[in-house]
Structure formats: structure tokens, C-alpha cells
Structure 1
Amino acid sequence: MVLKDTTISLMNSLGTQRIPFLFIISYDGKDCIVEPLNKIKTDEIKYNFNGVSNQLTQPSPSVLQIEAHPLSFEQYQKKFDIVKHELQIGNTYLTNLTVETPLTTDNTLEEIYNTAKAKYKLWVKGQFTCFSPEIFVQIKDNAIYSYPMKGTIKADIPNASEILLNDKKETAEHYTIVDLIRNDLNIVSKKVRVNRFRYLDKLETSKGPILQMSSEIAGELTPEWHNEIGTIFHKLLPAGSITGSPKESTMRIINESEQYNRKYYTGICGIYDGNSIDSAVMIRYIEQQGNQYVYKSGGGITSSSTASSEYEELLQKIYIPS
């Protein structure tokens, strides 16, 4: 991914002046929105990142009725087989394969945004809404933190936590992504370390509670990091958790197997408040395409993955957290 020089310069300039701003960056870096917080119009963009929001009042939630029309298993298997072949010949160790699923709903993107519950929520008029649980990076007190999420299971399954923590496929995937994120943070910071490894969070979804496995990785920055915000994100993107490892060859495999434009899906969004940064990976995402809505979802493919289980996982991820 190559961020435009103008985007990098603008983010660096705003940071140097300590001007709070919102940034939204697409998966490929070609589309970016960078706007000082005091210039954002709430009829065009709404955000709520860990309680930091540009909405003075919270609208009443809507009753959401959404029907998914997923691709067939046979269609998914063709994409999966491309990735599996690349895994077998050693061109990738982990590939995040995603698809788009058409939706039928009477709800608007704004109604979905207002009703969904998530750490990070974003609505861009006429384009998409996102309700993500996944932190990309946080920067505070001259330190940078990342919390890669890999591994989920339905929380109501007996012994769910033990099953997830002992799942060989999920464990291998988590090790791979933690190693990748460590390497990414080493590019922009020093003394990188894993503070917490494979801890579990419980998330409430419209399909019932799930357990999500994460780790915490941290590195040290110089006090001048404010002047280099655009440069830092340029070096880190795209997010390792939604590409795979090794990143460059895996991105080629993603393009070949997915055959669609992710656009802002799996990009990142965040806020610089003049002192710190809080940012998210844009997963759990619904996009407007003309008069049609599509939900984009997927998961990590490793050598031990099976097409049937991965197909079920991407369907399981089509939900609105409530």
C-alpha cells in the first residue's frame, strides 16, 4: 500500500500543529479522508471511538432486520483453493480471505450505525458504516500499542475458552499474526515487546455471545512522533491482521483470490486528539453500492484450514453487534 504524499504531509502537518483530526484510510491507501475535528459535519460523517463522538445526543435505536444472501460454498471453495495452493508452495503462511455478501434490509446505514454497539463506530454518508471491535494502534505517552485479534468461538459452547486456546489452527494463526505485528512495530518504534499473549474478550452479537482471542504488543516512540503521524501510518499499513504473512506476497494472493475491491473495508480509521491516537481496523462493515448494501467479512487461512469451516466462519461474522 502506498499512501499519497499529500495524505502523509497533511497528517504530519496537523500533528506538528497539534490540531485534532479524524483519518479514514482505505485498504489500498488510494482513498483517504483526513479532516480536522472542528470541520466535520455530522450530516456527512458520524463517529464514536471508545465514547469519543461528534454526536451531542444519541438517537433511539432502530429495530434491525437484515437478510444475508451469501455466495455458495462452491463459489467460496474456488477462492479458498487459490489460497490453499499458495500455502502449499510456501508463498504465504497466513492469508486473510474475504468476500462480499449482498444484504436485504429496510434499514439505512445511519440507522444501523445508531443501533450497533461496538468500541469503534463510523458512518460516512452514502458510502459505508463500520462497527469494529478491533484496535489497530493506540499511541499515548510516547508509546505505541497494537492488539491483534485472531481466533473466535461461540461463547455458549461448553468449555469454549479451553477449546479456543487449545485449537491448533487458531493458535498457529495467532502466533503468525503476533510475529507480523511485532515486526511492523519494530519499523516505527524501539524496544518492542508482547505485554499480554492470547487473552480472551467476550463480545455480544445479534447471533449470541462470542469469545475473541487477542494479544497486546507495545513499542517506544520518540517525543517527536506527533510530527510524523502520516509517516508512521504509511509504514504500518495495510494492517497485518487483515492481510497475512509475509505481507507483500500475501497481498498479491488476496488480489488474485478475492476478485473484488475491498475499498474502505479492512482499512483503518482513527482520531488524533492533540495528545494521543486511537485507531481501529475497519472490520464488521456494511457498504452501499448504488441501491444495494453488502456486508464484507472473512477470516485467516492457514495450511490447517478447511474450506467448510472457513465458509461457516465468514457467515458467522455477518452480524450487527447489539
Structure 2
Amino acid sequence: MISCRFETLLPCGGEGRSYYFRNPESVLELKDPSKAEDFFKFLEKLAEKYYVAGFISYELGYALEKCFGKTKSSSFPLALFGVYKKARIRDVLFPSSGGNYRIKNLKLNISKDDYLSSVKKIKKHICAGDIYQADYTLKYKFSFEGDARDFYEDLKRKQRAPYAAHLDFGGIKILSLSPELFFSKKGRSISVKPMKGTARRGVDNESDRSQADFLFRDEKNRSENLMITDLLRNDLGRIACAGTVKTEKMFKVEKYDTLFQMTSSVKASIRSGVDFYGIIKNIFPSGSVTGAPKIRSMEILRDIEVEKRNVYTGAVGFLSPGGRADFNVPIRTVLLRGARGEMGVGSGIVYDSRPGEEYAECVLKAKFLTEGHKEFCLIETMLFDGELKNLTAHLSRLRSSAGYFGFCFDERKIRSALSRKTRTLSRERWKIRALLSADGDLSLSSSKAVESAGVLKLAVSSKTVDSSDRFLYHKTSQRALFDAELEKAREKGFFDAVFVNEKGLLTQGAVTNIYAEKRGVIYTPPVSCGLLKGTIRQILLKLGKVREKDMTPADLRKADAVYVSNAVIGFRKAELVSKVKWQNPHNVGNGKYIVTPFI
């Protein structure tokens, strides 16, 4: 069944709406570029009474400019739209996909050597002054079998991009998770939102703020964003009333799942006589996916790129009765044709681009397709003995992690649920476990807090952790390694399993923070080693009772005393039961150690 679905996936606020069109009255396809003007004028006429939804291929841009010469008819549609009587509008849903699909034989359509050679050609054009920047693209090709809707739902969960779309035209299916708006038109008002400038997310809110600040202040990213914004201002100037092109928000840093992106917003009033075709002719494709100057960049890229982009970097969207039109730039977009699939990737090449790094970035983008997605919850474990201990600290940490991951957080609702849960408990020691899901749903459970007598025994795990793993800095249900190693430790009579990171530095236990006392001073590993800010740990640091310091398991062995803490057991004395041998000095402290682990 032919259908089109467009969804705004803004976390905890924003529109968060799904526009679903199905059973079209007709389907209109453009293959002959000479018919483009008639085609888009007809779409606009239909949109007076109907919804018109579909896509425009990037290659149409060459047909719209006379300087490119005559463009041949295309085997792939230059534009494809369905005409619908009504739209089904509702809140965005995230149904379970069932995973009824398979991706095989994923590979790039050019070799690394060919890619590096192409980038060098582009840089020669930059050095010659032909262009300032070019957005060079290539493709991942793969075999696909199964349900495209399941594939889309999984991608949607993995990439909660603001502009998602699933277009099904039978033999052509498009699954798009785009962060970029192309243009939005309401009546005679039009806005564009170019996106240029990227930085990786940090591992917690503090490093997030640092990364966002870096992106905002970085001259290279700002200059690239300004270049593309000026290009789009110029494009809008071709269709706007004099003096109405206004830049409203420059260099805004937006947060996504794994990246920060820099955007700017430009608005204008469309002058009388400019219709939908006039808009497309003058601003398509978006300058954010071509380069600058736009026409010369497109000319160079057409000679260098080995395949047509098709829908990738074109436009997907719909026109509505009342003069509204909303279109997105389809990046992070999959095109399926039968058993064949493809996804375009690319990057902006400038004078100082490093070809090897650009290639690595393109390879990394394949994870969007292949990485599995596992839903997780945020966790808080608290002690109740007539009152919830350190409740404010627990809620503060939960709020912080919710903000980092984009989870809904309603403190009043959570406090109320905790109050109802604990109201029925006796005045004994209880462990309260709270799980918060992405949509703000809260699950609570309680169990008797079991006392562990005496000195708590610790063992060093043979598994290391990676300090760049953001899940180490947040208490979540994404803790399979910790749970498995804790189970092994408990089976052998230990209270907890202690972990070291990729540098051999102590981090934390599976359920505790770790401390070592030396000459009357108590030390604990710094958070940067890859560990959770435990509530007891944070209280002790605030009171000046402990200090942060890089440590190894050898430091625990040499310590005058060892301690552990968590919200349920408090601050307890412990001992490390393991053997430590030393070998050639290297990197860590005065030497690189080998721990003979008990688990």
C-alpha cells in the first residue's frame, strides 16, 4: 500500500507529531526534466484541496539551472508524490519493530584509495580558488530482506532526529532520519535552517557543556556555518520581498543522541508572483549539501561522484491546503528498491580537511545501519529506614542523567510515586529501586536491605572498561558487564568486583565506589577514569573527607585501609583479595602492572 509518514521526534516537548498519508487518489512522477515547471505548478494547484506528499531527487537541481546544459531523462524519479484527501495526525508512537529484516553485504561503493584521490581533486579546486567548500558524498550499498517498516521503527528508536519520514511507493521505499530542515512555508512566509558544524557529545552534562561551548566558539565551524548561511540568504533573496531576509538565530548548538550540530535560522517574506515552482527553482538543492559557491561546487561534484545521489540530499516533505509546505533534507536516509539498499554519506571538504579523517568519518556513519539498539532505563537505588536517605541527591543525579539522554523527567510525579510506595513499608531497612524510562514512566520496587557483616572482600575483574563509554557515568540498566562480573564475584564469596579502565587505572566496583586511605588521607578515583558519581561519594567530596586521585589496584594493596560505598550500605571498610605483579615501567604511575584476578 502506497503511503507517506512524516514525524517530528523532539524529545519531551516540541511538536512530536506524526502526519500519515495513505491510499492516494493518484501518484505523480517526474522523469523528464523539461516538464519540471508544469509538474510543480500542478502539485501546487492540487494542494489547494489535497495533501501532496513525496520526495525530490538531488539531480533535479542540475535540470533547474541552465548553466548545466540539458539534463537527460532519469530512470530514477526526479520527483515522486502521492495525492491524498486527508492526513491522519497524531502523537508519535514507538511500536516494537519485531526486527523482521536483515542487512547483508554492507560496503562502500568506492575504495579508500579512490576516495582519497577524489578528496585531493576537490582540494586542488579549493587551492585554485574555484570553490571554498564541497560536500563530497559516496554510498553504502547492501542487500536487504524483510519488513521495511520494522527497519524504519528500529532506525527511529536509534536516531531520534527531529525530522523522520517513511515513504512507501511500492518499488521505492525511503527511510529517513534527518536532523535538518530544508524549508518551511506558511502562507507567504518562508524559513530555512542550514546545518553546518559538528562536535561529539561528552560523556556527562559537564563534558557536554564543554563540547557545546567548543562548537559554539570554534572559528572553523562558525566560518563554515556562516558560509552556508550566507549562501542560503542569497538563495532566499532571489524569491523574497526586498529587505525581508532576516537571520534570526546564528550559531545555535543543538543536541542529538551522539552529536552536537550547529544551525542558523533565516526567514523571509515571499514576493508576489513567486509560486512553489519558483521556490524550488531558486533554492533547491539546499546549499548545506552542495558547497560554496553553490553552482560551481555542484558542477565539480557531478564530475567526481561516481553515482547519482537520488533522494539523498534532495528533499522529502508535503504540501497542505492553506499554503503550507514542509520539506526536510534527507541525510541519514536509506533508499530501498526491492532487495537492494543504499545510504549516502558525506562530509564537507575544505582547504585544511584531512582526507584520512574524512574517510574514517564516512566509515563510522555505517553504524547508523548496523548497530543494534537496546532500550534502557535510568536507575536510582535508595535506602529507606523510615525516610528516604539523601533523596534530594538521588533526584538531582536522576534529573541530570535524564537531561543528558533526553528522558522526560517530572520530579513532582516521581516524589509522589516514592511517597506512595514507602508509605506502606515498615520502619526497617529497605532498598528502593526506581527505573525511569525515556517517556517518563516510572517503575518502583522494594526489597529488604541485607546487611553484610565484617570487612567486605573485593576482587579485581579480568574485564576492563573504556573511559570513553558514556554509560559508565550514568546509572542505567545498560550494565550487562557489571552484572555478569558481580555474579561471578558473589559466587566466590566476594562482595564486589572492581574494574580498571583501558589505562589500567581504578574506576569503581560493580555496585560501589572505591577508596584507599594512605597516611590519614582517603583517596578515590576521579570521575574522568570512567565511573559513577555515587551519592555517598559526592557527599564525602563536598565535605572534604576524601580527595580525588588516579589509582591502580596496587594502590589498594599498599593502602593503610580500603573502603567502599553506595547508597544502601553507606561507607564500609573493605579489602582487596588479589595478587599484583609488576613488569617493565610503562604509562601508568611508576610501572605497568599485571593483576592476577580472582574472577
> Which category of TM-score, normalised to the shorter sequence, fits these structures?
0.7 to 0.9
Structure 1 range deviating more: 117-126 or 79-88: 117-126
Note the aligned Cα RMSD (angstroms): 2.9
- Are the structure 2 counterparts of residues 39 and 262 from structure 1 closer, same or farther at C-alpha, using a change threshold of 3 Å? farther
The alpha carbon displacement at 1:280 in A equals 0.4
CA distance in structure 2 between the partners assigned to 1:52 and 1:4 by the alignment: 30
Q: Residue 69 of structure 1 aligns with which residue?
A: 107
- Who is 2:124 aligned against? 85
State which of 126, 148, 165 in structure 1 corresponds to 2:171. Answer: 126
Offset of 1:270 from its aligned partner? Answer: 1.4
> SS where residue 283 of structure 1 aligns?
coil
Q: Which digits, 9 at most, give the CA deviation of each residue in 1:90-141, with x for residues without a partner? A: 1111111000012366554332223332323132333232221210000125
Partner of 1:11: 43
Paired-residue identity, %: 24
TM-score, length-normalised on structure 1?
0.84
In 2, the alpha carbon distance for the partners of 1:263 and 1:148 equals 20
Give the structure 1 partner of residue 225 of structure 2. 174
Q: Structure 2: state its 5+ residue gaps.
A: 1-32, 61-73, 374-599
Instruction: Describe the shift of the 1:304–1:165 C-alpha distance in structure 2 as closer, same or farther (beyond 3 A).
Output: farther
Aligned length: 304
1:18/1:39 Cα in 2 relative to 1: closer, same or farther (>3 Å)? closer
Mapping of residues 57-206 of structure 1, within 5 Å: 59-63=95-99, 68-70=106-108, 71-103=110-142, 108-117=147-156, 118=161, 119-124=163-168, 125-127=170-172, 128-156=174-202, 158=207, 159-190=210-241, 191-204=244-257
Instruction: Sort the Cα spacing of 1:314 and 1:169 in 2 relative to 1 into closer, same or farther, 3 A.
Output: farther
Q: Relative to structure 1, is the Cα distance of residues 52 and 313 closer, same or farther in structure 2, using a 3 angstrom cutoff?
A: farther
Comparing 155-164 and 128-137, the one that deviates more: 155-164
Aligned-partner residue type, residue 183 of structure 1: N
Residue 35 and residue 223 in structure 1: after superposition, are their counterparts in 2 closer, same or farther (change >3 A)? farther
Structure 2 CA distance for partners of 1:252 and 1:213, relative to 1, 3 Å: same
Aligned to 2:53: 22
Against the structure 1 CA distance between its residues 94 and 78, is the aligned structure 2 distance closer, same or farther, given a 3 Å change threshold?
A: same
Report the residue type matching 1:250 in the other structure: S
User: Aligned partners of 2:59 and 2:144: how far apart in 1?
Assistant: 29
Alignment correspondent of 2:354:
306
> What secondary structure sits across from 2:299 in the alignment?
helix
Q: Is 1:232 aligned with 2:232?
A: no
What runs of 5+ residues in structure 1 fail to find an aligned partner?
41-50
Match of 1:273 in 2: 320
1: distance between equivalents of 2:338 and 2:125? 34
> 1:305 & 1:251 partners in 2: Cα distance?
19
Aligned twin of 2:311: 264
Paired residues of 1:24 and 1:32 also in contact (CA < 8 A) = yes
Q: Could you say which structure has the larger radius of gyration?
A: 2
| Aligned AA (2:298) | M
Name the counterpart of 2:259.
Answer: 210
Match of 2:302 among 239, 255, 266: 255
